Structure 1
């Protein structure tokens, strides 16, 4: 195995079990490892630190896997990690919920691997060169452990480009998923499209938050922005909302939402779907003098990196300012950020700026986070990407 030596004083992250070491921390590479190859990582004082995936094409040159020098990273090692991750989610799945995240990358000690379960199908995202080299082993283990009908590749994220990997999508094993897979989450039924849908097919990271928000929607008018397949819309209607308006720029999202309304036997008379850019539509509502009792803002990732933070902050502020202006006095705003570069305190500050610009007083009622199948490893706080606030706008 090829040895990689760190510069003096650059071993702290590895000692603290953080899984990333950036290229600038490397001193010597004793050989020419292939990208994705496992290497031994050593301090400048020649102390063993960890085994890691190597990639000279990425800013994250080393993705640490195993800190015990006597433990071999082989197929049995991957099987143990996968079995442990799957077992920790078993209680999440039930008669009312048959979809969740089974593997969450660094949080489950498998950097660059995401596995989502949708009924009897699995969706994989492979985001690191290291996992790409053992893809066949991963598929074999998942087949053995879960016996799925099919395994679908959704490795189409931009993160693969940072690892010098091409984006890929398609069937990996078994049967091709149907146009719509029927899944259940908290008793709500969804038709989701793995092949053509966003990300891995369905945002199961909002499972808990959909239930929390629904408690505030009985007999209320709700505006669900960036609604996608309708998670917040459907839960609100099921809880007894008087009317829900759902907005998304994607025609597929709106079509899927309509399917889901029918699946759940929910009244079309109490729901309006609008295919439109959310920011433009909010301005239209403002010009029309429309008001709502409850508003959901769940936008895509505005800050993919810290370099985009200033621009993202302005976008979040303007979006939330517009949202606050559309609420009745005392209305409820559920606002989210899935940008890892935006921490909770920064997000609160952005909301404070938005409230000031909107001329509104705002109370924080609850703080939202990602559910337990998206755990945050204490040595890897970057895994805490989803945050949100439940606000009362006065």
Structure 2
């Protein structure tokens, strides 16, 4: 096995069990490992540190798998990790919930692997060369654990390019999912399009947050921005919302949302679905004097990296300022960020700036986070990406 020596002082993060070793920390590579190959990592004084897989095209040169010299990651090791991830989530799958995240990358000790369960189908994202080399083992074990009818590869995002990998998408096991797969979350049915939908097809990281916010919606008028397939909209309808307005720029999202309303027999509830840019639509609402009791802002990732933080902060501030302008006095703003580069304290500061610009007073009455199938590994805080605030705005 190829040995890699770290520069003096660069062993600290590894000893603290952080799973990333950056290329700048490498002193010497004893050999010519292929991308995705397992290597042994040593400190500058030749002390064993860890095993991990290597990539010379990525800023993260080594993704650590094991810190125990006696435990060499092999096929059995990967299968055991997958089994642990599945067993830790089995209790989440029941009559009211048949969708969840089964594997969450570094947080489940499997860097670069994401797997989501949607009823009888799985969607996977394999984002690193190390996981790519283990793809047959991963797919076999996931199918064995879940009995999935089909596994669809959604590894079509830019993250693979960081490891020198081309985007991939398509069926990799079993039968192709139908145009719409019916899943249940919080007892609500969703027809989702795994093949053509965004990312893996459905965002199950808001499961608890959707249910919690819906408890405030009875008899209220709610605006759901970036509504996608209707998670917040449908939960509010189920809990007795008087009216819901859903806005998304995607025609497929709006079409899917309308199908989901029919699927749940919510046609009798007043609802309007608008295909539009959210910021533009919020300005239209403001100019028209429209007001809502609840406004939900759940935008896509504005800060994919720390280098984009300043630009993202401005985008979040403008969005929330506009959202505050269409709230009734004392209304509720549920605002989210799924950017890992934006921590909760930074997000609170952004909301404070937005309130100042909008001339509003804000009380934080709840802090949202990601559910247990998106665990945060204590030595990998980067896994804590979803944060949100429930604010009362005056």
- The TM tier, using the shorter chain, reads over 0.9
1:130 aligns with 2:130: yes
1:82 aligns with 2:82: yes
**TM-superposition CA deviations, 1:187-236 (whole Å, max 9, x none):** 00000001100010100000000001001110000000000000000000
Tell me what 1:221 maps to. Answer: 221
8 Å CA contact 2:149–2:174 kept in 1: the answer is yes
SS at match of 1:227: coil
Report matched runs for 1:47-86 at 5 Å: 47-86=47-86
**TM-superposition CA deviations, 1:114-163 (whole Å, max 9, x none):** 00000010110001110000101111111222111000000011111111
Q: Distance in 2 between matches of 1:383 and 1:148?
A: 27
Tell me what 2:300 maps to. Answer: 300
Q: Distance in 1 between matches of 2:142 and 2:199?
A: 20
Deviation at 1:267? Answer: 2.1
Deviation at 1:269? Answer: 4.9
Q: Distance in 1 between matches of 2:356 and 2:143?
A: 53
1:23 aligns with 2:2: no
Q: Distance in 2 between matches of 1:326 and 1:147?
A: 47
SS at match of 1:33: coil
Deviation at 1:72? Answer: 2.0
Task: Identify if the C-alpha distance between structure 1 residues 22 and 240 changes in structure 2 by more than 3 Å, giving closer, same or farther.
Answer: same
CA RMSD of aligned residues (A): 0.6
Tell me what 1:212 maps to. Answer: 212
Tell me what 2:318 maps to. Answer: 318
Q: Distance in 2 between matches of 1:142 and 1:102?
A: 9
Which residues of structure 2 form unaligned runs of 5+?
Answer: none
1:121 aligns with 2:127: no
Deviation at 1:386? Answer: 0.2
Q: Distance in 1 between matches of 2:226 and 2:38?
A: 40
Tell me what 1:188 maps to. Answer: 188
Deviation at 1:79? Answer: 0.7
8 Å CA contact 1:50–1:66 kept in 2: the answer is yes
**TM-score if structure 2 supplies the norm length?**
0.99
1:264 aligns with 2:271: no
8 Å CA contact 1:261–1:268 kept in 2: the answer is no
Tell me what 2:376 maps to. Answer: 376
Tell me what 1:179 maps to. Answer: 179
Which residues of structure 1 form unaligned runs of 5+?
Answer: none
SS at match of 1:279: helix
**TM-score if structure 1 supplies the norm length?**
0.99
Deviation at 1:268? Answer: 5.2
